[in-house]
Structure formats: structure tokens, C-alpha cells
């Protein structure tokens, strides 16, 4: 029997040998004043050659030992017995119900190198913004030519250090990502945003929001048996390995699983996608009708509140999602894997037509300021579902939001 990192390596070989992989990505070989804008407009993964990450960053002399020597006297490291790390946000509404699968431990700097070099069961990694984790190294990573004026307020430069066989679970980020590999190699398994419906995402309310429930270290036969829709998108997979000194542009909302086989050092630069600001517009006043309808007495009890809430959500979704029924069925089916189905109370409107006419102007204004400004349909779907879950969690327990969507907003 294989254990720990050996099991991960073996299962990945078996899985990856089966699927159909597109082995190459487009390569950008010339960088000029228009390149960054062109990349961010096209939103396709691109291998970068001759970009400022290679020509202006002074990271070629970095070694693992050199970087570790610049860390603070003690640091927080993540440890996962399975070597698979899934992002965990303790501030999400369902966090009390689902504890993290990795552990955080404080380590003195003198012990970091040994832990990153360890080849036993499980793996360690650490990451933080470069200016916090290794401020002495900030001058080696100038940002000139890599950040557009509109993104200057959201820029984040992160330093990543990981041991052998670290796996970053399949997920998406709402950021433009310029990723530079410094020490060791990293393998990226990529799926486009359009694959989202078959990647079994956790709920917006789950502490692993934006993460897939798929564990790509499992054999392909197990994955498809447990997650049959994954079979529909395997052919979309892109597979790229970055060697030391190589860079990648990874667009927002592209799903990626990242794997290492040796100790690794990476630096990446994140800037928010424009959709982040548009979503913030919607969340700034997520139920814009409520104050006026309460003041006029239209919303006056639980039934009238729930009735208008479910209709408002239905109208927003019908404006933004091509097939609302299917999208909500998929969302709830994904939640069924970790939350039970329960009966919830729905509202009953005395005059649905009048209620719709009352709510429609609020829907039109909200959607025009937010979701209608999103150019990518898949990103729009992901974010409007996120908005809807966040909205409903303000008025009901997070464990029943999916049930409310299934039973009240879009009943079968």
C-alpha cells in the first residue's frame, strides 16, 4: 500500500494518463505598453516570455534557503496530512459547521527549511504578501509595467513557499494573476470558466467558497463515479508546467489546481477583475426595495417579506442567468453533498403581478449597475449566484438558503 505523498503522486499519474490534455498554451514573446491590456481583455491563459517578471524582477538568484533566511523570526505555516490544501475562510457563514482540513502552526524560522524539505506524509506551505513575509525582498520585485492605473488600488504581491507534493485544490480567483516560478517547478491544471457547472463548487456561504469539491489527486474512475458531470468537461483541461524563471498569465475565473513535486518558491501579482467592483455595487444595497415597501406597508409581515424576497431573487436571476432552473438545481445538488434537505416556509403573494411590477424597477436598476456590466457570461453566473446566497443569508440561517432557492425561488 502507498501512503502520503507517494499515494498522491501515484494517483495523479493514473488520473492524468487517462484524460485528454491540451499540452501547449499560447506564448507571449514580446512585452510592450499594450501587452497587459491585451492579456486582460482576451482573458486566455498565456505563457509569458520576456515579460517584466523575467527581465526586471531580480529573483534569479533566489534559492529556498535565501528566501527562508529573509523570513520573520517566526511564521505561520499550513500543514495538510493529505498534502491537498483547500482555502478556508473562517468568516464565512457556514464555517462553524465545517472545520478546516489543514492545520495552522507557528514555526520558528530555523525550522522552516527542514519542514519544506521533508518528504514524509503530508506537506507544509506558507504564503503571505511579500512585504509582510519577506520585506527585504520587495526591491527585487518592481511592479513597473505590470499594473494598470485602474488596478493600482487592488494590487497584491504574494510569496509562496511549499514543500514537495503540495497540491492547491481546484478553485478560481476573481483576479488577474501574473504568476512567476522562482525555485522548483509547478504544474497547473486549468479549466475555463465555462466548465463551472460541472466542477461541483462549494456554496458562497461555505468556508471553501470558490473551491471545487473535486480532489484531482483521486484516480479518474473514482472522480467520475462520485462526480459524474466532471466527465463532460475533461476535454477542456489545459495542462502546463512552469520551470524556474518562467511566468504565466492566468485570467480571472479560470479554475486551477496547482501541484509541486519538489520544494518550491513562487511570486505572483494579483489585481482585481472589474467584476469585483460590479459585484460590490450589487452588495452595497442588496435589497433596494425593502425600506420603501416596508414604509408603505406592502411588506408588513413574514409572509409578505418572504413573498417579495423570493420574487425579487427570481427576477434578478432571470435577467442574469440563461437557465435559472438548471443553475439553481446544480447549486442545490452541490450543497446536498454536505448539507441536508429540509422543508422551508415560502411566501405567498396576494397579487404576484402587482408585486412584479413593483419590484421590476428595483431589479432593473440593480442589474444595470452590476451584472449587466459583466462581459463574461460564466463569471456573471458565478457572481450572481454568490450575490443571491449572500443576500438570502441576511434573512435566514445559512444552512437553509439552498432549500429556500429550491423550494421557493425556482421550485421544480
CATH label of the domain that carries residue 203: 2.60.120.10
374 and 319 in a common domain: yes
Strand 238-242 versus strand 156-162 pairing type: unpaired
Q: Quick one: what percent of the chain has pLDDT higher than 70?
A: 93
* Cβ–Cβ < 8 Å for 216, 190: no
pLDDT of residue 210: 98
Domain count of the chain? 2
Across the range 298-313, mean pLDDT stands at: 98
CA dihedral 393, 324, 343, 91 (to 10 degrees): -20
Number of Cβ within 10 Å of residue 32's Cβ equals: 8
* pLDDT value, residue 121: 83
Q: What are phi and psi of 245, to 5 degrees?
A: 90, 0
User: Among 118, 99, 100, which residue's Cα sits nearest to residue 4?
Assistant: 118
148 or 178: whose pLDDT is higher? 178
The pLDDT value given to residue 23: 52
DSSP state of 241: E
**Domain co-membership, 110 together with 13:** yes
Query: With bands split at pLDDT 50, 70 and 90, how would you rate the model's confidence at 5?
Result: very low
Instruction: For residues 231 and 349, state if they share a domain.
Output: no
Question: Do 286 and 166 lie in a common domain?
Answer: no
Check whether 366 has a pLDDT greater than 70.
yes
Calculate the average pLDDT of the chain: 92
Residue 8 confidence (pLDDT): 37
Residue 394's pLDDT band (boundaries 50, 70, 90)?
very high
Q: Indicate whether 127 and 255 sit together in one domain.
A: yes
pLDDT over threshold 70, residue 407: yes
DSSP-assigned letters across all residues of 55-107: HT---TT--HHHHHHTS-SEEEEEEETTSEE----TTSTTGGGS--SSEEEEE
Give per-residue pLDDT as tens, 6-39.
333 334 443 444 344 455 788 988 899 899 999 9
The residue from 229, 253, 272 where one domain ends is 272
Q: Which of 316, 304, 319 is nearest to 395 (CA)?
A: 304
Long-range contacts of 37-42, Cβ-Cβ distance < 8 Å, separation of 24 or more: 37/148, 39/176, 39/249, 39/251, 40/148, 40/176, 40/251, 42/251
Residues 16 and 95 in one domain: yes
How far is CA 236 from its chain centroid? 18
324 and 262 belong to one structural domain: no
Q: Max CA-CA distance within the chain?
A: 72
d(CA 213, CA 171): 9
Which residue has 504578501 as its cell numbers? Answer: 129
**Separation of alpha carbons 112 and 126, rounded Å:** 9
Contact 76, 105 (CB under 8 A): yes
pLDDT in tens, 239-293: 999 999 999 999 999 999 999 999 999 999 999 999 999 999 999 999 999 999 9
Q: Whole domain around residue 92: which residue ranges?
A: 4-272
Residues 102 and 183 in one domain: yes
Centroid of chain to Cα 216: 16
- Residue 255 and residue 231 share a domain: yes
Q: State residue 145's pLDDT score.
A: 86
DSSP 288: T
Q: Which of 176, 164, 340 is nearest to 263 (CA)?
A: 164
Pick the last residue of a domain from 272, 289, 309.
Answer: 272
pLDDT tier for residue 294 given thresholds of 50, 70 and 90: very high
- Name the domain boundary from 236, 255, 272: 272
Q: Are residues 261 and 115 in the same domain?
A: yes
Q: Are residues 317 and 262 in the same domain?
A: no
If asked whether residues 334 and 236 sit together in one domain, one would say no
Spell out the alpha helix ranges (H) of 104-205: 109-117, 130-133
**CA distances for 290 relative to 224, 271, 306, 309, 341, angstroms:** 44, 34, 11, 9, 28
Segment 327-351, tens digit of pLDDT: 999 999 999 999 999 999 999 999 9
For the chain, counts of helices (H) and of strands (E): 14, 14
> By C-alpha distance, which of 105, 92, 93, 260 is closest to 188?
260
Q: Residues 223, 227, 229, 234: what is their CA dihedral angle, to the nearest 10 degrees?
A: -20
The rounded distance, in Å, linking the Cα atoms of 267 and 47 is 15
Say whether pTM exceeds 0.85.
yes
- Written as nine digits, the cell of 339 is 448539507
Block residue for cell numbers 477542456: 236
Amino acid at each position: 500500500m502507498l501512503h502520503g505523498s507517494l499515494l498522491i503522486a501515484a494517483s495523479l499519474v493514473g488520473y492524468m494518463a487517462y484524460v485528454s490534455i491540451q499540452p501547449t498554451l499560447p506564448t507571449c514573446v514580446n512585452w510592450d505598453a499594450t501587452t497587459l491590456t491585451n492579456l486582460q481583455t482576451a482573458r486566455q491563459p498565456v505563457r509569458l516570455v520576456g515579460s517584466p517578471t523575467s527581465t526586471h524582477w531580480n529573483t534569479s538568484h533566489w534559492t529556498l534557503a535565501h528566501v527562508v533566511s529573509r523570513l520573520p523570526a517566526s511564521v505561520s505555516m499550513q500543514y495538510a496530512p493529505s498534502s491537498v490544501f483547500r482555502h478556508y475562510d473562517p468568516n464565512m457563514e457556514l464555517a462553524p459547521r465545517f472545520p478546516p482540513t489543514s492545520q495552522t502552526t507557528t514555526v520558528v524560522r530555523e525550522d522552516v527549511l527542514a519542514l519544506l524539505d521533508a518528504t514524509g506524509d503530508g506537506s507544509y506551505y506558507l504564503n503571505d504578501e511579500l512585504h509582510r513575509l519577506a520585506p527585504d525582498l520587495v526591491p527585487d520585485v518592481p511592479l513597473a509595467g505590470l499594473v494598470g492605473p485602474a488596478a493600482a488600488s487592488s494590487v497584491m504581491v504574494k510569496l509562496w513557499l511549499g514543500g514537495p507534493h503540495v497540491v492547491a485544490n481546484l478553485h478560481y480567483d476573481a483576479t488577474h494573476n501574473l504568476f512567476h516560478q522562482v525555485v522548483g517547478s509547478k504544474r497547473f491544471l486549468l479549466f475555463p470558466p465555462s466548465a463551472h457547472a460541472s466542477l461541483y463548487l462549494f456554496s458562497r456561504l461555505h468556508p471553501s467558497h470558490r473551491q471545487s469539491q473535486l480532489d484531482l489527486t483521486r484516480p479518474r474512475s473514482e472522480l467520475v463515479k462520485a462526480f459524474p458531470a466532471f466527465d463532460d468537461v475533461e476535454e477542456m483541461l489545459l495542462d502546463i508546467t512552469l520551470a524556474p524563471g518562467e511566468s504565466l498569465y492566468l485570467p480571472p475565473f479560470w479554475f486551477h489546481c496547482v501541484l509541486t513535486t519538489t520544494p518550491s518558491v513562487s511570486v505572483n501579482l494579483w489585481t482585481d477583475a472589474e467584476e469585483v467592483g460590479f459585484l460590490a455595487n450589487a452588495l452595497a444595497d442588496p435589497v433596494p426595495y425593502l425600506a420603501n415597501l416596508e414604509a408603505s406597508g406592502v411588506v408588513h409581515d413574514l409572509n409578505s417579506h418572504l413573498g417579495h424576497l423570493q420574487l425579487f431573487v427570481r427576477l434578478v436571476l432571470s435577467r442574469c442567468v440563461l437557465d435559472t432552473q438548471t443553475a439553481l438545481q446544480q447549486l442545490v445538488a452541490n450543497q446536498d453533498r454536505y448539507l441536508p434537505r429540509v422543508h422551508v416556509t415560502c411566501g405567498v403573494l396576494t397579487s404576484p403581478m402587482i408585486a412584479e411590477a413593483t419590484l421590476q424597477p428595483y431589479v432593473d436598476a440593480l442589474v444595470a449597475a452590476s451584472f449587466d456590466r459583466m462581459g463574461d457570461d460564466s463569471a456573471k453566473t458565478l457572481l450572481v449566484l454568490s450575490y443571491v446566497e449572500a443576500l438570502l443569508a441576511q434573512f435566514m440561517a445559512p444552512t437553509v438558503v439552498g432549500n429556500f432557492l429550491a423550494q421557493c425561488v425556482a421550485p421544480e
